[in-house]
Every structure is written in structure tokens, then in C-alpha cells.
Amino acid sequence: MTEKIPANSRLGSLEYDPAPESASIARLKSSYGLFIDGSFSDPSQHEQFVTLNPANEEVLATVAQASNADVDHAVQAARRAYETVWSKTTGAERSKYLFRIARLIQERARELAVVETLDNGKPIRESRDIDIPLAAAHFFYYAGWADKLGHAGFGANPRPIGVAGQIIPWNFPLLMAAWKLAPALAAGNTCVLKPAETTPLSALLLAEILQQAELPPGVVNIVTGDGSTGAALVEHAGVDKIAFTGSTAVGRLIQQRVASSQKRLTLELGGKGANIVFEDAPIDEMIEGVIDGIFFNQGHVCCAGSRLLVQESVADEVLRRLVRRVEQLRVGDPMDKNTDVGAINSAAQLARIQELTAFGEGEGATRYTSSCELPDKGYWFAPTVFADVSQSHRIAREEIFGPVLSVLTFRTPEEAVAKANNSSYGLACGVWSEKGSRTLWVAQRLRAGVIWANTYNRFDPTSPFGGVRESGFGREGGRHGLEAYLDV
């Protein structure tokens, strides 16, 4: 070659012109009421709060703050619907409603994706390709179970529990609603769903879809509000079951509050997932998997692979490639179809990420932060990797719930397992190796609910998901997901 040899080839230097999805597809209303007994109503105290677009801090809509009285109405409506309609509806009939909801989600997928991205800050590529299709897939999957509960392994004629109170987080708003509602409805329960304070909009759009599907009034009720609304739901005597996804701290409070009641409980809480990389891992796919494991959804993923345990013999090479790949991530407007990493969901979450990363530097870890330009408005955090992290650092122990990866090393499989298990959490782990026998050896010894081999952050409605220890209990998804909503 006569070409002059450059010292460096910038990755992704072909600039992509902005390719934004249109925000007008969302057709948002200026304000939303509570969805109780099949219709939208104003909250009894007339209290409201705003929900922001975290990418630019603009107000998207005003949403009702449900009071204790509103929660009571919702639970009563759910009870009525359970006793008069839903418990008398056959499995085959229930499945028709679920299929209908699934199809309507698919029909309105683009609108739902835009709403999700506006309200949450996640890249449109992810809401379009992952959140919304998976939400529809969950309804499709559990629609299939509704008339086959006798064959699910829980006895010949398993009974529903009754009224389920469901509290969901802000990281996958519609998907978490689908994870909760689909198995509950398939099993014959009625629901009161409480979406997260910062991301209520897609659940309210789902309420419209439930109306379109002509789901009987009261079978699903959606109450928006802050933590007090969730607390009212947890404490309500008319609720038979609480399903909660969120932080370990709140999960602990909920468990204390339901301890003296008849309520059943499933908790899906935090995590500090270990992604274990052996020297024979398929290196290019492993780097992509590690990147996806921590920067997917800005790291707002309870099962995020936030700890990278890499075999010492390849640690330098892995870190070099990792940092190069981090630099290449396209951070910015979540509505742009080419964006890889979007906005942090809230100011509070951003403050927590900043606090913990500052601590990481103080503890002596080496910090690599992407040089990407961050927008002036909105909540943003540049993708960050910490190397030279040790097991005792806060950034190796606490859930950061942001785009921050901590890299540790190990020498032997035993050490990898010991380090991975040395955590109060136990939600998910990843193992990267071309050697199947070693992958199985390691997987058998990891204390985590989900273990991925040569991949990370893959979800499917047929596969159960959930944690052990401080990551919670109960499973969502698959046949196992039915158990949480059946009287077994």
C-alpha cells in the first residue's frame, strides 16, 4: 500500500445526520386522570403532578396524584370486578382479552415507543426494538396459558388469588406493566397497578388500550402517584397480593408492612450483576455483550452487568477494547434513531450516580469517561468505566443504577465465583467462555436467579426471571410466573 499509515482510525467517524423520530406521534393529552373501574376520573383531592421529559426537562403532561381514598376506590372496583365478572370468566375468554391487548399494543407500537422514550429518556431504538415488542410478547405468551392453568403443574384446577396490587419501576415502564398484568389476568386475578412517579404515561396509554380491548371495568385499575400512593396500596386490607419491582430499600419496607397480614408478596429488587470473562471468551462478541450489559437503558437495569470480572491474563486487552467501545457509544437525543445511550431518568437518579462515581474516584479506582458531548438541558451522565476496582470499594458493592461499570480481575474460576457471590444481591450473572464445561461449572456455583452464557440482558416471556437474597423472591415470566398469581 502506498497509503500513509495513520496512527489511529477513529471509530464511527462517519457523521450520521440526525434521524429523529417525530414526537407528535405520541399524541399526548395535557393531563391524565386515574383509571378506575374502566374510565378515567379526577383524583378526589384534585392533586396533580407533572411528568418531565428527562432529555430536556420539558413538561410532558400533568398526572393525577392518587390519595388513600382513590386507592380505596380502585381496590373496591377491582374487588367488584373480581367477584362479579372476572372470576366467572372462563380461561378461554380471558385469553381472548389478552390476545386482544397484545395485538393492540402491536398496532400502537410506534406511539407507545415514542411515549416511552419521551417519558423515560431511553433511546427510541430500544423502546422500538425491545420494550414494546417484549411487552406485546408477554401478553401473547400468557394469553396462551389462561385456558391451560390445569396443566401448569399447580394442580388440576388452580384458583386465582383475588386482587393484586402491583407497583412497578421507571426503568421499563410498559414492559414492567406487562410483566405484572399479563400473568395476573391470565390466572384470573384483578389488578390495581401503580406506575412509577416519573414514568406514568405509557401505563395510561395502556389504560386506553384496555378500554379499546373492552376489558370489563375494574379488572385493571391504574393509579398514578408518588410513594404515598404505593404505600396506601400496600397497606390496603382489600388487597390479597402485592407484587413489587424496585429498590431493595423500598422492598424491605414493603415486606415489613405486609408481614402481619394475609397478603402474599413477590419482590424483584436490585442487583449488582457480575459479568465473568474468561481468557477464551469470544472477544468481539464479549465486548459487545459487556457494553450491552451495562449501557443498555443507561444502566437503569436491575440485572445490569455492573461488575466486570475479567481473567487477569486478558485484563489489559479487554480494558483497552472496552474503553475504545465506550468512546464510540452515541450519547444524546433519545428520539434519534442512531442514539445508543439516552438520558438519565431523573435529577434524583443523576445525583445518586454522581455521588457514587465521585466516591469511586476517591477510593482510588481509575476512571475512564467517554468524551461525548452532553446536552445542556436534561439529565445526562457520560458512560463511565472504573478500572482497578477492588472488592471493598463502594462502586463494587452498591447498585449504581446508571451507565457505570466497575472492572475487577481474577485468576482462577474459584476466585471468579467467590468474587461474583461476594455481594448481598443475587439477581443476574454472565459467563463468557468458549468452553462449555467451565461455563456450567461456574454457573452451578453462582448464587443468582438468572445466569446468561455468552450473552447478557436477553429477555423472553417464556423464561422465568427473578432473584435470590437481597434481589428479592418470586419469578416473573414463563410457567413459573403463574405461581405468583395462583393460590398454590
Partner 1 sequence: MSTAPLRLVGNDDYGVKIPASSAAPAIESETQLRALLTALSGVDAVGLEARAAKLATRSIKKSTKMAAIDLAISMVDLTTLEGADTPGRVSSLCAKALRPDPRDLTVPSVAAVCVYPDLVAHARSVLGSAPVAVASVATAFPSGRASLAVKLLDVREALAAGADEIDMVIDRGAFLSGRLGQAFEEIVAVKGACGDAHLKVILETGELVTYDNVRRASWLAMLGGADFIKTSTGKVSVNATTPVALVMLEAVRDYAETTGRIVGVKVAGGIRTTKDAMKYLVLVNETTGSTWLTPHLFRFGASSLLNDLLMQRLKQRRGAYVRPDEFSGD
Give catalytic residue positions: 268, 302
Give the x/- contact pattern for partner 1 in 418-447, rule: CB under 8 A.
Answer: ----------------x-------------
- Considering only residues 297 to 326 of the shown chain, the ones binding partner 1 according to CB under 8 A are 323-324
CB of 380 to partner 1, least distance (A): 5
Is residue 462 involved in binding partner 1 (CB under 8 A)? no
Is residue 286 involved in binding partner 1 (CB under 8 A)? yes
User: Whose CA is closest to 236, among 475, 447, 67?
Assistant: 67
Which of residues 10 and 46 has its CB atom nearest to partner 1 in the complex? 10
Is residue 289 involved in binding partner 1 (CB under 8 A)? yes
Which helix (H) or strand (E) is 74 found in, with range? Answer: helix 68-84
Is residue 259 involved in binding partner 1 (CB under 8 A)? no
Backbone φ and ψ for 336, nearest 5 degrees, come out as -75, 130
For partner 1, which stretch binds (CB under 8 A), given 69-77, 236-244, 353-361, 471-479? 353-361
Q: Distance (Å, rounded) from C-alpha 12 to C-alpha 26? A: 31
Which of residues 42 and 373 has its CB atom nearest to partner 1 in the complex? 373
DSSP three-state, residue 76: helix
Going from the C-alpha of 380 to that of each of 341, 348, 373, 460, the distances in angstroms are 10, 12, 10, 29
Residue 253's DSSP bridge partners are none
DSSP letter at 131? I
CB of 324 to partner 1, least distance (A): 4
Is residue 350 involved in binding partner 1 (CB under 8 A)? yes
Q: Distance (Å, rounded) from C-alpha 309 to C-alpha 469? A: 21
Region of residue 457 (phi > 0: left; psi between -120 and 50: alpha; otherwise: beta): left
CB of 125 to partner 1, least distance (A): 6
One-character DSSP codes across 205-217: HHHHHHHHTTPPT
In the sheet that holds 39-41, the strands lie side by side as 39-41, 34-36, 220-222, 190-194, 163-167, 241-245, 264-268, 472-473
- Considering only residues 360 to 379 of the shown chain, the ones binding partner 1 according to CB under 8 A are 361, 366-372, 374-379
At residue 373's C-alpha, the angle toward residues 289 and 365, to 5°, is 55
At residue 291's C-alpha, the angle toward residues 290 and 293, to 5°, is 60
User: Whose CA is closest to 372, among 330, 320, 334, 324?
Assistant: 330
User: Whose CA is closest to 215, among 39, 32, 461?
Assistant: 39
Backbone φ and ψ for 427, nearest 5 degrees, come out as -95, -60
Residues in contact with partner 1, counted by CB under 8 A, come to a total of: 58
CB of 1 to partner 1, least distance (A): 6
Side chain identity, residue 123: P
Is residue 85 involved in binding partner 1 (CB under 8 A)? no
Q: Which of 193, 281, 294, 309 binds partner 1 (CB under 8 A)?
A: 281
Q: Which of 45, 354, 412, 462 binds partner 1 (CB under 8 A)?
A: 354
Which of residues 249 and 351 has its CB atom nearest to partner 1 in the complex? 351
Q: Which of 150, 153, 155, 282 binds partner 1 (CB under 8 A)?
A: 282
Task: Read off the C-alpha cell for 75.
Answer: 381496590
Q: Distance (Å, rounded) from C-alpha 83 to C-alpha 76? A: 11
Is residue 87 involved in binding partner 1 (CB under 8 A)? no
Backbone φ and ψ for 367, nearest 5 degrees, come out as -105, 130
CB of 44 to partner 1, least distance (A): 35
Which of residues 151 and 324 has its CB atom nearest to partner 1 in the complex? 324
For partner 1, which stretch binds (CB under 8 A), given 8-16, 157-165, 416-424, 472-480? 8-16
Is residue 382 involved in binding partner 1 (CB under 8 A)? yes
Give the end-to-end CA distance of the chain in Å, rounded to a whole number. 72
- Considering only residues 90 to 149 of the shown chain, the ones binding partner 1 according to CB under 8 A are 125, 129
DSSP three-state, residue 467: coil
Q: Which of 3, 22, 437, 444 binds partner 1 (CB under 8 A)?
A: 3
User: Whose CA is closest to 79, among 192, 232, 233, 206?
Assistant: 192
Q: Which of 86, 381, 425, 465 binds partner 1 (CB under 8 A)?
A: 381
Which of residues 158 and 378 has its CB atom nearest to partner 1 in the complex? 378
CB of 53 to partner 1, least distance (A): 14
Is residue 403 involved in binding partner 1 (CB under 8 A)? no
Task: Read off the C-alpha cell for 44.
Answer: 378526589
Is residue 328 involved in binding partner 1 (CB under 8 A)? yes
Which of residues 19 and 69 has its CB atom nearest to partner 1 in the complex? 19
CB of 337 to partner 1, least distance (A): 4
Which of residues 139 and 381 has its CB atom nearest to partner 1 in the complex? 381
Interacting residue ranges for partner 1, rule: CB under 8 A: 1, 3, 5-19, 125, 129, 280-286, 288-289, 323-324, 327-328, 337-338, 347, 350, 354, 357, 361, 366-372, 374-382, 434, 454-455
